[in-house]
Amino acid sequence: MFHMINLSPLLLLLLLLNHDPIQMTNAELGCDYSNGNWVYDPTYPLYNSAQCPFIEHVFNCQRNGRRDRTYLKYRWLPLGRCRLTRFNGTEFLQNFKGKSIMFVGDSLSRDQYQSLLCLLYTSSPGIKYNETRVGDISTVTFSDFGVKVKLDRNVYLVDLVPKKIGRVLILDSVARKSAAWLANDVLVFNTYAWWNRSGASQPWDFVQVGRKKLKDIDRTVAFKTALNTWAKWVNFKIDPAQIKVFFQTVSPTHYK
Ligand X SMILES: *[C@@H]1O[C@H](CO)[C@@H](O)[C@H](O)[C@H]1NC(C)=O
Query: Which residues form the interface with ligand X (CB under 6 A)?
Result: 88, 90-91, 130, 132, 141, 143, 196
* Pick 64 or 249: Cβ nearer ligand X: 249
Q: Name the minimum Å distance from CB 116 to ligand X.
A: 16
Of the candidates 119, 103, 99, 109, which has an alpha carbon nearest to the alpha carbon of residue 47?
A: 119
* Pick 48 or 90: Cβ nearer ligand X: 90
The answer to whether the beta carbons of residues 107 and 154 sit under 8 Å apart is no
Q: Name the minimum Å distance from CB 190 to ligand X.
A: 15
* Pick 48 or 130: Cβ nearer ligand X: 130
Distance of CA 214 to the CA centre of its chain: 32
Of the candidates 41, 112, 97, which has an alpha carbon nearest to the alpha carbon of residue 71?
A: 41
What's 140's DSSP letter? E
The answer to whether the beta carbons of residues 80 and 29 sit under 8 Å apart is yes
Length of the chain: 256
Q: Name the minimum Å distance from CB 119 to ligand X.
A: 11
Q: Name the minimum Å distance from CB 189 to ligand X.
A: 19
* Pick 100 or 154: Cβ nearer ligand X: 100
Q: Name the minimum Å distance from CB 228 to ligand X.
A: 19
The answer to whether the beta carbons of residues 174 and 159 sit under 8 Å apart is yes
Phi, psi of 186 (to 5 degrees): -135, 135
* Pick 196 or 235: Cβ nearer ligand X: 196
Say whether 197 sits in a helix, a strand or coil. Answer: coil
* Pick 66 or 254: Cβ nearer ligand X: 254
The answer to whether the beta carbons of residues 97 and 147 sit under 8 Å apart is yes
**Distance between CA atoms of residues 106 and 189, nearest Å:** 9
Q: Are strands 130-134 and 159-163 parallel, antiparallel or unpaired?
A: unpaired
* Pick 51 or 132: Cβ nearer ligand X: 132
* C-beta neighbour count of 74 within 10 angstroms: 14
Q: Name the minimum Å distance from CB 88 to ligand X.
A: 4
Q: Name the minimum Å distance from CB 83 to ligand X.
A: 16
